[in-house]
């Protein structure tokens, strides 16, 4: 699993972000050998928060389809303005809390 790759998110287009692999057709819906997209963590989380696996397989099994869905488009517009470092900052804040 290519879980800690760094690069450009295919959805929001932010560069130098940590990428996770998203199955455009969820594995649960038979997408194991179908195309995947590399997404940053916030985008990936948002997709699964907004849609069920069934919805993804039925009408959002492509990066263009995802990008054009109004709910996700609004999120992408916002996340594009967020610097990738924001993630790192969150992590550090958590670490500090422990001490
Ligand atoms: Zn993204
Ligand atoms: Zn996913």
- pLDDT bucket at 94, cuts 50 / 70 / 90: low
Please report which ligand is nearest the Cα atom of 50: 2
> 39 C-alpha vs ligand 1 centroid, how far in Å?
5
Please report which ligand is nearest the Cα atom of 41: 1
Q: Is the pLDDT of residue 2 over 50?
A: no
Q: Is the pLDDT of residue 92 over 60?
A: no
H-only helix segments in the chain? 41-50, 53-59, 63-68, 70-79, 85-98
- pLDDT bucket at 45, cuts 50 / 70 / 90: very high
Which residue in 4, 5, 62, 57 sits closest to 30, CA to CA? 57
H-only helix segments in 6-62? 41-50, 53-59
The residues that bridge with 18 in the sheet, in sequence order, are: 6
Lowest mean pLDDT among 4-13, 45-54, 67-76: 4-13
């Amino acid at each position: 699993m290519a879980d800690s790759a760094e690069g450009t998110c295919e959805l929001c287009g932010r560069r130098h972000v940590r990428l996770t692999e998203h199955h455009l057709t969820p594995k649960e819906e038979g997408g194991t050998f179908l195309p995947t997209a590399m997404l940053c963590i916030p985008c990936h989380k948002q997709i699964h928060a907004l849609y069920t696996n069934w919805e993804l397989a039925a009408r959002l099994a492509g990066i263009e389809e995802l990008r054009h869905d109004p709910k996700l488009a609004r999120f992408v517009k916002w996340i594009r303005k967020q610097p990738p470092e924001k993630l790192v900052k969150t992590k550090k804040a958590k670490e500090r809390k422990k001490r």
